Amino acid sequence: MKKVIVTQRSIYHKIASIEVEVPNNINDDEVGEWLLENEDSYTNKIDTEISNTNYEFGFGMGNGMDEIESESEWRYDVVDSEKPNRFTIGGHL
């Protein structure tokens, strides 16, 4: 009998989201910069949330996650104060 090696590669991902309170005096177009300068105020919380999240099959692309070549991707979305189910601006960190 011949020996044959069969190999499978499966991709799994985790996605977690948290709410971060940003001061009202920060304009929407300055939120990304504020988040980068104040990452110590939310990184532990997001690390805990991602640890408690279950793996899902697939790449996790969509809803602004579009960097397929990256091993990790961070983004932010500013919630519209008048329509909480919509965003006013967002982007990658």
The pLDDT of residue 23 is 96
The pLDDT of residue 85 is 86
The pLDDT of residue 47 is 96
The pLDDT of residue 32 is 96
Q: What is the spatial distance between Cα 54 and Cα 67, in angstroms, rounded to a whole number?
A: 21
Q: Are strands 75-79 and 12-13 parallel, antiparallel or unpaired?
A: unpaired
Tell the residue number behind the tokens 């920060």, with chain if given. Answer: 26
Global pTM value: 0.81
The pLDDT of residue 84 is 82
The pLDDT of residue 77 is 93
**Per-10-residue mean pLDDT, the chain, length 93:** 93 96 95 96 96 95 91 93 88 93
The pLDDT of residue 24 is 94
Q: What is the spatial distance between Cα 77 and Cα 64, in angstroms, rounded to a whole number?
A: 9
Q: What is the spatial distance between Cα 46 and Cα 35, in angstroms, rounded to a whole number?
A: 13
The pLDDT of residue 81 is 84
In sequence order, what DSSP letters do the residues of 5-27 get, joined into one string?
-------EE----------TTS-
Asked if 93 and 36 count as a contact pair (C-beta separation under 8 A), the reply is yes
The pLDDT of residue 34 is 97
